[in-house]
Structure 1
Amino acid sequence: MIRIGTSGWRYPEWRDGFYREIPQRRWLSHLAAHVTTIEINGSFYRLQPPANYRKWAAETPPGFTFAVKGPKLITHVKRLRDIADPLKTFLGSLALGPKQGPIIWQLPPTLRFEPAVLKDFLSTLPPGRHALEPRHESFRADAYFDLLHTHNVAHVVSDAPTFPCIEAATADFAYIRLHGHDELYISSYDDEQLDEWAQKIRDWNRDTYVYFDNTMKGAAPYNAQGLARRLGVPLASHT
């Protein structure tokens, strides 16, 4: 199972390109007709009411999947410590039903790998698919990979010019975020780069979620479709 999509969908920059002649109220359904998954980013910045998740689920086709970014209150403010209460509140807000995919936890670039802290955090997570995106070089460590493997949490393989790209498969699924190789959130991936990522995904040989986050100039949906074609996976969800 390989699902490929974009990180978010509310981008005015796409108005004259991918969303040309599409009213804003239909942006989500339009994108969901061309990819099989989308990463919800709004949950990172503030708690979303269950009604929002139900609305988004209703606007997407059967078989569609959302990944949900965990709140920055947990990752950036509390920095993975003493998070039982906000975690319970966040999990209680989710209302995607069968369209619920992985939860991604994006760490701040100043957060170093501390084995005890990470172990406690991973032990607190409920069952389900979780992925962790560290942005500090100290996470390039066997002890980190071992912790994720023990808890079946995927290390997020991130491609960006401003933080390390650490390639490791640590769970029964893989999670990739492509932020733009040369310019963060901007650069489009060329044919050679898409070929390389397609081969890496084949080599990992496991369920994989891929999100293009190079959104600022509108490359993300087109890159997502290009990678999907290379891997022979559907360009849209189906029952």
Structure 2
Amino acid sequence: MGVLVGTSGWQYKDWRGVLYPAGCPQRLWLEEYARGFTTVESNNAFYRLPEHDQFAVWRDRTPAGFVMALKASRYLTHIKRLRDPKEPVARLMSHADGLGDRLGPVLLQLPPTLRADPALLDTALACFPAGTRVAVEPRHDSWWTAEIRALLEDHGAALCWADVGSRPAAPLWRTAGWGYVRFHGGRAEPAPRYGRQALATWARRVHDTWPGEADVYAYFNNDTGGAAVHDAVVFARAVARLAREVGGTPDL
């Protein structure tokens, strides 16, 4: 697959005129999105886990080869805070099975107040079915230890490379044979856009860290005003200039 670039979510009204034609009804936005992008990170499961049938509908509405990453339920990450993960992980995966071959990685974004707890993370990661790609986005500085890095490596879980304000918000560890990158907002104008140099720097980091055959998923979470759409396209072009295989993006 190479480097797959998309956005975090697709249902944003201010993307009319940016990604969605003025006359395109909201019920067809996923189809329109998938005509340009080959991947999306779904936030739906974080706020309210869709039923198996809803995931199956999304599968049927997207083309072969499309990949949907899932942000795991906040019930697991923010309410339970990784405690007793067996049931919420099993429920998430049984529902997500409706995506079939469209299912991509699962993201565990941890609360910023959750301090490092290797045992909790180890237990949670062990609950995922074999072969599931899990990315972990810690947001407390206590997680940046050799023990946590080794734990992620043992599970084949990717440390999420997160950008905030055009700067890495975490150590740039490679903990798996695949990667996961999230862009939360840059420093360029109009906000929250990224500058071309910042995106070129991130493209070079990806290129220098993972070999050409590795899969890397990159999602832009700076949705306001369609910034995510524009920046995803610019980033994908920067990656392509490094002679890397890149998934499709819209022709803006």
Give the TM bin, normalised by the shorter chain: over 0.9
- Provide, for residues 46-100 of structure 1, a one-character-per-residue CA deviation record: whole Å limited to 9, x for no partner: 1211121111112212111000111111000111011211221121111101111
Where does the alignment leave 5 or more consecutive residues of structure 2 unmatched? 241-245
The structure-2 alpha-carbon separation of the partners of 1:51 and 1:10, relative to structure 1 and needing over 3 Å to count, comes to: same
The structure-2 alpha-carbon separation of the partners of 1:236 and 1:187, relative to structure 1 and needing over 3 Å to count, comes to: closer
Q: Over aligned residues, Cα RMSD in angstroms? A: 1.8
- Residue pair 1:70, 1:105 contacting (<8 A) in 2 also: yes
Structure 1 CA distance for aligned equivalents of residues 85 and 119 of structure 2: 14
Q: CA deviation at 1:181?
A: 2.7
Specify the alignment match of 2:108 in structure 1.
Answer: 105
Specify the alignment match of 2:30 in structure 1.
Answer: 28
Which among 153, 169, 175 is matched to residue 170 of structure 1?
175
Matches within 5 A, 1:10-49: 10-21=11-22, 22-49=24-51
Structure 2 CA distance for aligned equivalents of residues 234 and 39 of structure 1: 14
Specify the alignment match of 1:143 in structure 2.
Answer: 147
- Provide, for residues 197-219 of structure 1, a one-character-per-residue CA deviation record: whole Å limited to 9, x for no partner: 11011111231000000102211
Runs of 4+ in structure 1 off by over 4 angstroms are none
Structure 1 CA distance for aligned equivalents of residues 20 and 142 of structure 2: 40
- Residue pair 1:75, 1:107 contacting (<8 A) in 2 also: yes
Which 10-residue stretch deviates more, 46-55 or 115-124? 115-124
Structure 1 CA distance for aligned equivalents of residues 63 and 195 of structure 2: 29
Give the match's secondary structure for 1:96.
helix
Specify the alignment match of 1:73 in structure 2.
Answer: 75
Matches within 5 A, 1:191-230: 191-205=196-210, 206-230=214-238
- Residue pair 2:110, 2:139 contacting (<8 A) in 1 also: yes
The structure-2 alpha-carbon separation of the partners of 1:61 and 1:236, relative to structure 1 and needing over 3 Å to count, comes to: farther
- Residue pair 1:135, 1:163 contacting (<8 A) in 2 also: no
- Residue pair 1:174, 1:207 contacting (<8 A) in 2 also: yes
Q: CA deviation at 1:166?
A: 2.7
Identity of aligned residues (%): 38
Q: CA deviation at 1:3?
A: 0.5
Q: CA deviation at 1:163?
A: 9.1
Give the match's secondary structure for 1:43.
helix
Amino acid at match of 1:79: R
Which among 151, 155, 159 is matched to residue 155 of structure 1?
159
Where does the alignment leave 5 or more consecutive residues of structure 1 unmatched? none
Specify the alignment match of 1:129 in structure 2.
Answer: 133
Amino acid at match of 1:203: D
Q: CA deviation at 1:188?
A: 0.9
- Provide, for residues 106-157 of structure 1, a one-character-per-residue CA deviation record: whole Å limited to 9, x for no partner: 1100001112222222222222111011111111111111100000000001
Structure 2 CA distance for aligned equivalents of residues 226 and 30 of structure 1: 19
Amino acid at match of 1:222: H
Specify the alignment match of 2:5 in structure 1.
Answer: 4
- Residue pair 1:35, 1:225 contacting (<8 A) in 2 also: no
TM-score, normalised via structure 2 length: 0.88
Which 10-residue stretch deviates more, 154-163 or 120-129? 154-163
Amino acid at match of 2:231: N
Structure 2 CA distance for aligned equivalents of residues 148 and 236 of structure 1: 30
- Residue pair 1:32, 1:236 contacting (<8 A) in 2 also: no
- Residue pair 1:225, 1:235 contacting (<8 A) in 2 also: no
- Residue pair 2:86, 2:124 contacting (<8 A) in 1 also: no
Structure 1 CA distance for aligned equivalents of residues 208 and 84 of structure 2: 38
- Residue pair 2:90, 2:127 contacting (<8 A) in 1 also: no
Aligned pair count reads 235
